[in-house]
Amino acid sequence: MSPLSRERLLVGLAPERLGAVRLGFWRRRQHLGEQALALAPPAAGAPWASGIETLELLLDDPAWRSRTLSVALSSHYVRYAVLPRGRHLALPEQTELAQVVFRKLFGELASDWECRISPGDGETTVASAVPTALLDALRAACQGRVTLHSVQPGLMSIFNRVRAGIGRHDGTLAVVEAGRITLAALAAGAWQTVTSRAWEPEALPALLAELGELSARPAGGRLWLCDLSGRAAAPAAPAWQVERLFAGQRAGLLSWGLA
Amino acid sequence: MADMAALHLDYQRPPPGRQLPGIVLLAASLALCAALLQQSAGLARDTEIAEARLAEVRRAAAAARQSAASPAPAPPASASAARWEALFVALEGAADETVTLLALAPGERETVLTGEARDLPAALDYAQRLQAAPAFAGAHLAKYEVVREHPRQPVRFTVLAGGRESPP
């Protein structure tokens, strides 16, 4: 491949599926291909082992060879926390603080997670934690094959793609995938909570109701729904005004908003 | 009303604000490299000019020594050698770091010296110092010009000397 090539591969990595979109940039953005690869659950080892193996095969396929790779990670692999933004703390100190919060929430499990905290400008901000072993496996898979340009939680890629439409409205962003629902509550332009549960897509209305009760908030409001599973049940109107994200945009769904 | 800030939780790229110092450092390094290259080109040019001048001086000195060593028709060899010796002693006495002798052309009646001085006062001082030596009695600055194409703009000059102790 020419060193001047600007072809990019965008991948959404989840336990049951690897979605891939290949883009070219010759004068304008070109859509060169997309595919959804079903992954078998690994018999043993890390839960992401099948995904990494499939990614390696994809990167070795001449038809999918690209200059750079960006990966969006399923919420199965990411933990989230909303923290007050430390105005007088530098980013490394804030990251350290996030590490402490994750250890408190998840105990010894969090000792092998790599944390990031978003440098936002609101009252609160979002922190994420990803297993170091997964990041190492991704970097090793790219070695000699492609430049790993970005690895980001799926919530980040989706939110950044749709945040202009969200504006500073109050509401809930729902990312629904097979076997997991992630809900982010937003109010007055600030992050309130991010909750991720191992629930099936059909249980979205029940989870919304439960979280409403727990937070003593009236059920309803705006719901920005990103249904990656194709099976999400929408909560009942008129309490909820549902806006489906990436409706009819297969590439956007396969790459978790990266494309 | 502005939108909410974008999330930046990337595990491969630093946050946007943290890329800035790197970009500034890169720009500063490139500027420094350009300045050093320019300086190095200037130094190379100076070296070439200095080497050319040195070669001229060496040629002039060799020519002077050769004509001194060649058999003179008129005076006896020992007297000629003594005069040349006096000439060189006078030249060495008058020399300093502000002046470079480029050529020495002894004639029957007068001796012509060509040299380069840091500036005009240095050239005049040189002529005056030569005047004090008996071998260069009557030395005077006959011609000078500023070498404008050289960055330091030295003065190229010609001194004429003649009279009692003219060279052989």
ipTM for the predicted complex comes to 0.90
Which amino acid appears at position B149 of this protein? E
Looking at the complex, report in whole angstroms how far the Cα of residue A150 sits from the nearest Cα belonging to chain B. 5
Residue A244 has pLDDT above 70, yes or no: yes
pLDDT, mean of residues B39-54: 85
Q: How far is Cα of residue B113 from the mean position of the Cα atoms in its chain? A: 16
pLDDT, mean of residues A73-77: 97
- Higher pLDDT, residue B24 or B18: B24
Contacts of A91 in chain B (CB under 8 A): 15, 18
Give the best residue of A156, A170, A175, A258 to mutate against chain B (max B CB count within 10 A).
Answer: A156
pLDDT per position as a tens digit, A161-188: 999 999 999 999 999 999 999 999 999 8
Give the best residue of B1, B3, B11, B20 to mutate against chain A (max A CB count within 10 A).
Answer: B11
Interface A–B counts its CB contacts (< 8 A) at 69
pLDDT, mean of residues A93-113: 90
Looking at the complex, report in whole angstroms how far the Cα of residue B19 sits from the nearest Cα belonging to chain A. 13
- Higher pLDDT, residue B64 or A23: A23
pLDDT per position as a tens digit, A117-138: 998 777 899 999 999 999 999 9
* Helices B120-132 and B77-94: angle between axes, nearest 10 degrees: 140
**What SS3 class is residue B58?**
helix
Q: Is residue B78 within 8 Å of residue B72, measured between CB atoms?
A: no
Q: Considering only A65-69, A213-217, B13-17, B81-85, which range has the smallest mean pLDDT?
A: B81-85
Residue B98 has pLDDT above 50, yes or no: yes
B6 closest CB neighbour out of A114, A151, A160: A160
Task: Kindly report the pTM of this predicted structure.
Answer: 0.65
Contacts of B10 in chain A (CB under 8 A): 116, 150-152, 156
